[in-house]
A and B are shown apart, each in its own frame.
Chain A
């Protein structure tokens, strides 16, 4: 029997990699090779990435339109006959590129666990209740200002099997398209002040403190609606390709 993998071991690995990053610079994105997240071990390339001489195709990208999304898709609390259990929230923000230009009319997709921390997915066997009134998927198109908005319930934390007593902080998965396929982003949004942050190797895979903070939404009292919902705000900045690539059309 191998020794059970403890939080202590994982936390020590996380601390070591943070220390390295503090010296060498952590970068904006996680390293694909991040041992504290055990599943990354066999799923990252060993060879360096190759910069292609041109990227005509990747500098353009797929487009979506009003036929691809219904207005109700942005309200995750209205997809069933009844109301889901949980704390009703709105999540709003803007999608912009690295120059701060809004990404207009593009697709934003979200998925999340229910208020008890359970996904309606066969492979999720966490013994927390499913909610017949909550599926947990949504999508919308950004407006002329790059703005998106979802109404949902606050997801619960849930356990996973990375190590003994591993728990994911509450999060909403986001999938975002830019104007270029090379700007594609899939990520996770977290809630401010969650005590599980330091224990979670997926969040901590972003080793730069400032970069990691960019994954955490802000509570936004202005967007809370009286006697209805709490507001969170989270802006998204899409990476690459660099401006020179875009201009040179390399």
Chain B
């Protein structure tokens, strides 16, 4: 069967898709918690204030089964109840701020050593996939890329447990985006 075509997420997803705690895969103070944050830039180097990022990863033991509960609802009034603070769902969703910034709090994935990322934005007609690697070592995709390209997939340690990962949609330092078939 032929697939349904993609269309841009547009500018007005903000009251529909992001949810409170969308970037907090683990609560503050969780043992082994790391923060990954950065900016999304366009081809002119301007930050993109209307991008939406989704993250998907294994838990610390490498389990990729995922768990429900990323966007729990309050059954009484239908409001967002948020995550339960215990379950690791493996899924995150963060809209960029007005200054193009985003932040994720999670744990290091076990197994395959990366966090999968899906990028949506106004102006982007078809989402893009990339990956956040926390180290530049021991991975077949990284090994297959020339150094400057490889560097776009590796988060830079800023201080203990805090990593910087910028996404450049176009031009100099353009992030490596993936063809997943």
Contacts and interface: CB of A to CB of B under 8 A. Distances in A.
Given A45-B128, A124-B11, 4 more contacts: A49-B177, A56-B111, A109-B17, A242-B181
Interface residues of B, number: 74
18 contacts: A29-B125, A42-B44, A43-B123, A44-B124, A47-B176, A52-B131, A52-B140, A57-B109, A65-B68, A98-B1, A119-B12, A121-B11, A175-B13, A175-B17, A181-B118, A205-B7, A237-B2, A245-B181
A69 interface: yes
Nearest to B68: A65
B66 A111 contact: no
A53 B140 contact: yes
A64 to B, nearest CB: 5
A215 interface: yes
Nearest to B72: A67
Interface string B20-49: 000000000000000000000011101010
A62 B141 contact: no
A188 interface: yes
A123 interface: yes
A79 B5 CA distance: 30
B15 A100 contact: no
- Across the A-B interface, the 3 shortest Cβ-Cβ residue pairs: A65-B68, A39-B123, A111-B16
B78 A73 contact: yes
B67 to A, nearest CB: 7
Contacts of B2: 28, 98, 210-211, 214, 237
Interface stretch (A13-21, A30-38, A84-92): A30-38
Interface of B: 1-17, 42-44, 46, 48, 54, 56-58, 64-73, 75, 78, 89-91, 109, 111-112, 114-116, 118, 120-129, 131, 140-141, 144-145, 169-171, 174-181
Interface in A75-115: 79, 96, 98-100, 109-111, 113
A99 B2 CA distance: 9
Nearest to B143: A53
A44 B43 CA distance: 8
Interface residues of A, number: 85
B5 A28 contact: yes
Nearest to A54: B140
B129 A137 contact: no
Nearest to B74: A70
A9 B57 CA distance: 45
Interface string A213-250: 01100000000000000000001111111101100000
A249 B34 CA distance: 29
B16 A100 contact: no
A58 interface: yes
Interface string A133-170: 00111000000000000000000000000000000000
A50 interface: yes
A44 B11 CA distance: 16
Contacts of A58: 56, 116, 129, 178, 180
Contacts of B175: 45
B7 A111 contact: no
B3 A237 contact: yes
